[in-house]
Amino acid sequence: MEDVLLLIVVIPLIAGLFVLAMPARSHGVIRAIGLIGALIPACFALAAYLAFDQRQINLQFPFTTTWMSIANAYNSLTLHINLGFGVDGISMPLVMLVGVVSTLTMIRSFKVTERVKSHYFWLLFLTMGMYGVFAASGIFTFFFFLESTLVAGYLLINIWGGEKRHYAATKFLIYRGLASVVLLAGLIGLAYVYASTAQAASNSVFIPNAPNFLTFSISQLLTEAQLIHIPAASQDVLFLVFLLAVLMEEAFVPFHTWLPDTHEQSDTGTNMMIGGALMKIGLYVMLRFAVSMLPLGLAHYATWLAVLGLVSILYGAIVAIASKDWRRLIAFSSISHMGLVLLAIGSMQEIGIQGAVFMLVSSGLLTALLFFTVGAQADRTGTYKIENLGGLSKSLPVISGVMLVAALGSVGLPGLSGFISEFSLFVGGFAAFPTLSALASLSMILAAFYLLWAMQRTTFGPANQALPDMVDADVIEYVPMVILVALVVLLGVFPGVLGDVVHGTAQAIAARIGG
């Protein structure tokens, strides 16, 4: 099991290279390689998930190898940059999420007929990048893979997107690129501040495996976070830098406008990848670095987080009501949901942290499912405009039914994964910010309003005569729908499946920020 994470990250890349080696015409082979290249890592991820030791709070399945060593002639110290992987209770579920979403995306993308070869290559590349981001145990590794997702995402939108794809792709690139730059500054600052503080404290505190120079190892930083005290002023500044990066990365208001455009212009498979997994990176960064390593900064800006979260929650929910395109609606809905996570992180409660991971996973699954079903109906009707649809329950009962499940899940219906996430987040929120949380709870009503209203206009009512004749889901389409619905129900009925994995790490983080 030692190398499992390395395999998970590398296999999609190898499959991608195989895809490149294939003749461009042989679509069947390329699709098969794509599917296998995503399925094998997903199986490995599942194996890792099952083998995950819930009592451990260190990074598990560690793998480290030196990538490059940069000698510094000035002070004769060497900076070791490692390729390192390892997961804990926060990242393990997200790795699993990437496995699920990427595999199902490969299946969905069987429908792509244009430039199949490069489509699959970039999908596999994006898969590798997301695995790498969540599995990384080093700052450099993390950032490397983060940037690779940027490239792949940009190309996927830019080549296979809708009418205004160039505009959307550029926006995606600029926003996320900018976020990466800010994030890089924060990461380097973080490593530097930790190194200098550790250096200063080395006389009084024993730090195991203390490096003699900057360390980029996340587990080392997490250990040091418990031993040394970073000055509050540095924490505040760094936290702000991280916050800014996360606001852009995760599309929080007012840095959100790229997300609706991106989703509106991307094809279904790309939307599943972006909405289902890529959009979890920002808050993962928040939990991994800002929250775990800068507890004083978090305490200082907790109320800010809550307020920013609230703004996103309500703004997203209200604009979603007025959205006329299903994909924009989903985008705003996910902005609203992510705002709730931010609010809960601001609450600094263990339940809030746990709920945050729940919400990331749950909204990943539900967003992927929503995009899948909305895309499936658009394949048939040719439109995403809500006003042009109607009465789809008649012609597409299965797809409409699954769409309803996804919508109800997003609304937070018990029995589906959305409920326990929302509940945990609100418990955390109310413990710290009752008034803000009470305002945030309006979003539960608004969510019911916009999603069910959209459902009513899409699937209920008399069939729209302008729509063509349609056939319901085929066998290939059943696979993603059945798997996603099954997972959503599984998490809803037995949240312990996820909760047991998350709990230990959430507790550890809470202990760090609470004490």
Residue 36 φ then ψ, to 5°: -65, -40
Candidates 188, 463, 483, 489; binder of another protein (CB under 8 A) is 463
Give the nearer residue to another protein in terms of CB position, either 47 or 445: 445
**Short-list 418, 403, 300, CA closest to 359:** 418
Binding flag, residue 466, another protein (CB under 8 A):
no
Residues 6+ apart with CB under 8 A from 158: 165, 166, 169, 170
Candidates 43, 200, 322, 466; binder of another protein (CB under 8 A) is 322
Binding flag, residue 408, another protein (CB under 8 A):
yes
Exposed e or buried b for every residue in 93-103, given b needs 16+ CB within 10 A?
bbbbbbbbbbb
Candidates 49, 110, 453, 478; binder of another protein (CB under 8 A) is 453
Of 84-92, 136-144, 289-297, 387-395, the window that binds another protein (rule: CB under 8 A) is 387-395
- Least distance to another protein from the beta carbon of 193, Å? 25
Candidates 354, 381, 395, 410; binder of another protein (CB under 8 A) is 354
Binding flag, residue 350, another protein (CB under 8 A):
yes
| Structure tokens that stand for 235 in this block | 């924490």
Q: Which helix (H) or strand (E) holds 72?
A: strand 60-72
- Least distance to another protein from the beta carbon of 161, Å? 18
- Least distance to another protein from the beta carbon of 37, Å? 33
- Least distance to another protein from the beta carbon of 125, Å? 27
Restricted to residues 133-192, the positions that interact with another protein (CB under 8 A) are 171
Binding flag, residue 420, another protein (CB under 8 A):
yes
Name the CA dihedral angle for 504, 509, 511, 513, rounded to a multiple of 10 degrees.
Answer: -170
What is the torsional sign of CA 275, 179, 339, 128? Answer: positive
Candidates 427, 439, 470, 489; binder of another protein (CB under 8 A) is 427
The SS3 assignment for 106 reads helix
**Short-list 1, 105, 10, 15, CA closest to 46:** 1
Q: Which helix (H) or strand (E) holds 67?
A: strand 60-72
Beta bridge partners of 85: 63, 136
Counted residue by residue, the chain has a size of: 515
Binding positions for another protein, rule: CB under 8 A: 171, 253-254, 256-257, 261, 315, 318-323, 347-351, 354, 391, 393-394, 408, 411, 413-415, 419-420, 423-424, 426-427, 430-434, 438, 441-442, 444-446, 448-449, 452-453, 455-456, 459-463, 494-496, 499-500, 503, 514-515
